[in-house]
Chains A and B, each alone.
Chain A
């Protein structure tokens, strides 16, 4: 017999108690993992999205808030709000190249799908798109270049016909997966989009590349002078989007913390029950020579073991769960990012270690009070009653 074996025996002594406590801890850790990986996935995806925007500056209508700026990155539908003459004015600024976007919506098989009007050739080049099958549509044709994910989900292949806004389109090409929001979008030529959606030449926003990257601020000023629009740098955009995301992931973390606290109280409860149920056993252990300190250590080790086992199981279950859950949560503007981040939905190794360490610390702390109660019992009290 050794201390380790004794702890294992005590844990397994009451299997249902062991199992129930473990389920509680596992649930807590699982939700922590899911929440954290969503948060991490969200952020990683936004970084990638911003990089793939291929722009140094983003031109938006005046007065957009962070929520609308998020939509620039996620590719969802935006109000069409920069008039044609402003776009012309922007394009007249020296030293920049402009990629206008018109984000609109449509439905395929009664499901809403994002549709974006672009200058096909220029955008494809800037974003370094690769066409997986077929080819990009000509600028004035009613052709569709489908993102890989949306092509998958609607089973689209070159030659297929789709009706957008009552107008017949042909899928001319399907893109290779990019891992960004672009995967979920149907791209059509900008001019055609403006005509079919009757936007009167308006666009939603424009991505701008500058010739001299060191002069970004200067170009921004020039654009703002030339046209009645708001200009943000990609970095500002990223910052404001991240601030929104941070609130979201802080909320996620608070929820997870509550789950973990609940699990901790589960441990306290279990351990207190164990102290009570095992009064007699504690008395026997003391009567055959266990010191108070040793009883304390035995109970603490049991609590810590709950943390270790629950932590490991929770990490595994949580990682699997967050992979399974992510697609279902990826429905609104913020979490939409995660949709593209299929690969990302597991917390990084450092976070995992942190979670495991945290689980052990919380479980051990939860064991302190019950273990003290157990240690304080005198052998006579423990044995002579009931």
Chain B
């Protein structure tokens, strides 16, 4: 099955049935994202950006419509298949609380490899390269909760790359950082983009959005532009 983009969404709906009234977070999203592109999702708070990103990352299933990522139908996968998909096909970075606080920096990254089934010896050699790439090799034995916010995000990016996924999804990764840390993170992302990875990132900063190849605005659970 050949799809024009790495990620294709067709009339995607997502309704949360929490306590109380159901919330229609996405109401018919159509979107195509090309291989190797750098896309920013922008839009007002609460309008469905994170929800959309979660569907792309296989963290949740659509209520209706189809989400195809790297040729796989997110909505049709079993729990085990989804877990495998999240482990190997995509890398995810959140705004907050990305790391397991009780583990060291290296262990946080290794954990992602463990879930992908990488043998321990290979984990050790690869974790070094990954941390080197985000400039944190010397911090590998530090506890995650001893790091600054910027360092944590860099570890989270290293972890997202642990299993060498084609797609990197980031939900406001710099939303919580000072400008120096933000610049570091953005430099890493520019590098990754240059290496040919597909990047989708949610941001509130128009400055950051300006660096992307494409800006997609999410409004009222739909694509506005």
Contact = CB atoms under 8 A, between A and B. Distances in A.
A66 B177 CA distance: 81
Given A1-B107, A13-B102, A288 B112 contact: yes
A379 B80 contact: no
Interface residues of B, number: 35
Interface in B166-225: none
Taking chain B's interface residues, is the majority helix, strand, or loop, or is none over half, making it mixed? helix
Given A288-B87, A378-B60, A379-B59, A3 B114 contact: yes
B53 to A, nearest CB: 10
Interface in B99-129: 99-103, 107, 110-116, 120, 123
Taking chain A's interface residues, is the majority helix, strand, or loop, or is none over half, making it mixed? helix
A53 B177 CA distance: 85
Interface stretch (B1-9, B27-35, B62-70, B90-98): B90-98
B94 A288 contact: no
Nearest to B95: A383
B115 A290 contact: yes
A383 B60 CA distance: 12
A13 B83 contact: no
Contacts of A378: 59-60
B104 to A, nearest CB: 9
Contacts of B92: 287-288
Contact of A281 (B50, B100, B110, B113): B100
A284 interface: yes
A132 interface: no
Interface centre among A280, A286, A380 (most CB of B within 10 A): A380
Nearest to A293: B80
Given A1-B111, A289-B88, A284 B83 contact: no
A154 B124 CA distance: 69
Nearest to A1: B110
A6 interface: yes
Nearest to A382: B59
B120 A2 contact: yes
A1 B120 contact: yes
Contacts, number: 85
B84 interface: yes
B159 interface: yes
A380 B111 contact: no
B50 A290 contact: no
B13 interface: no
Nearest to B82: A291
Interface string B120-156: 1001000000000000000000000000000000000
Nearest to A10: B102
B86 interface: yes
B48 interface: no
Interface in A245-296: 280-281, 284-294
Contacts of A2: 114, 120
Contact of A285 (B110, B111, B160): B111
Given A289-B115, A380-B59, A1 B123 contact: yes
Contacts of A12: 102
Interface string A345-386: 000000000000000000000000000000000111001100
A9 interface: yes
A380 B101 CA distance: 19
Contacts of B115: 285, 288-290, 294
B80 A291 contact: yes
B102 A289 contact: no
A289 B59 contact: no
A287 B57 contact: yes
A284 B60 contact: no
B86 A380 contact: no
Interface centre among A6, A284, A286, A293 (most CB of B within 10 A): A284
Contacts of A289: 83-84, 86-88, 112, 115-116, 163
B47 interface: no
B83 to A, nearest CB: 4
A289 B163 CA distance: 10
Contacts of B107: 1, 5, 9
Nearest to B14: A380
A149 B160 CA distance: 73
14 contacts: A1-B123, A6-B114, A9-B107, A10-B102, A12-B102, A280-B97, A284-B100, A287-B92, A288-B86, A288-B92, A289-B84, A294-B115, A379-B54, A379-B60
Interface of A: 1-3, 5-6, 9-10, 12-13, 280-281, 284-294, 378-380, 383-384
Q: A-B pairs with the 9 shortest C-beta distances?
A: A289-B87, A13-B102, A289-B115, A1-B110, A291-B83, A288-B112, A379-B59, A1-B114, A380-B60
Given A9-B107, A286-B86, A291-B80, 16 more contacts: A1-B123, A281-B101, A285-B111, A287-B57, A287-B59, A287-B92, A288-B86, A288-B111, A288-B112, A289-B88, A291-B84, A378-B59, A378-B60, A379-B54, A379-B60, A383-B59
